[in-house]
Amino acid sequence: MNQIEFPKEFQRLVRLGKHALDEGELLKATEYFSSAYDLEQDFSVNLLLVSTLLELGEADKAFEYAKEMWHDYFKSIDYLGLYLQVLLQKRLFIQATSLIGSKRETANTDEQHLLDDYQEQITQTEHAYQQLEYRKVKEGIKNLQSLSTADYLTQMGEIKKIETLPTEVFESLAATFLKDELLHQLVRSKVLEELVKIQSEQTYDFLWLDEKLYTVVPKNLLLPASAKTYQQVSNLLEEKLVNDNPSLLLNMMNEVRLHFALLFPYADEKIKNPYLWAVSYLVDYAEYNLQADARLEENEWEAIQQLKEQLQEQIQKLYFQ
């Protein structure tokens, strides 16, 4: 009986929510939409709920619902506009700019013009935020500038606050972060990743794993997960484990992602043999008989082990500074 009544109850709640919306009873509308959404995670209801919450000034709640279906928002240029409004209300300027950059890769001419309008809205909101919330912005900058005095674990948590900085402020601070030897390599990589996401065209000095400075232009770089070698390694591991041991695959991929974040943006240059690199993880977890592999090259294997030891040392520094 419940299966028969469920669609009717869902439709009733949506209808009541829309009626309350027409009557200007926003709070009541969100209650109906929320109840309907609990019954069925429907995108059309998500849209109604998020837009109504925004009108009520409930940006935090709107964000929680919107991010559950951000892929659906991203599919349509119009729906993306609403999602961007949520991000701007949350002061997530870097994430908003990043989404526009990603959407441009597949947008047609008309959509590109609309994306230009969206970007202008972001820029105007950033400027208004800097003027109206001057003290808050200044305090945020001051806290981030002292990041190198904190322990590595604290650095990893605090660096996420860059996402709430206006883009121009972030790009300016990034120049210092990227070459600060007192920051953990993962922190410097995180900053560079965010610059790649917003397609920054500025030129930076980046202190890499080998303690040397490299000149980089973020717009010309690929994110760690987009590296050719990352795709090859992850595909090989998935092929080996996805059916037999999916939980081990999950744990292994967490380690792989950490390693590629540390190697960013030079993974494709440093990993000469993706097959053996994937095998090295299987060997670490006793899932592979290395001696039986005819493709084993001793020199390559030793080089892989040395580089992975260097990566593990970096990870251990997070906990044993």
**Quick one: which of 21, 75, 76 has its CA closest to 45?**
21
Q: Whole-model pTM above 0.75?
A: yes
Q: Give pLDDT tens digits for 178-212.
A: 999 999 999 999 999 999 999 999 999 999 999 99
Structural domain of residue 38, as residue ranges? 2-132
Q: Is the peptide bond before 265 cis (omega within 30 degrees of 0)?
A: yes
| Three-class DSSP category at 184 | coil
Please check whether residue 90 is in contact with residue 160, taking contact to mean a CB–CB distance below 8 angstroms. no
Number of domains into which the chain is organized = 3
Q: Is 169 found in the same domain as 113? A: no
Q: Give pLDDT tens digits for 79-124.
A: 999 999 999 999 999 999 999 999 998 999 999 999 999 999 999 9
Residue 200 has a CB neighbour count (10 Å cut-off) of 22
Is the pLDDT assigned to residue 268 strictly greater than 70?
yes
Q: Is 128 found in the same domain as 14? A: yes
Per-residue pLDDT band at 295 (split at 50, 70, 90): low
Of 162, 185, 220, the residue that ends a domain is 220
Q: Is 231 found in the same domain as 307? A: yes
Please check whether residue 155 is in contact with residue 85, taking contact to mean a CB–CB distance below 8 angstroms. no
Is the pLDDT assigned to residue 7 strictly greater than 90?
no
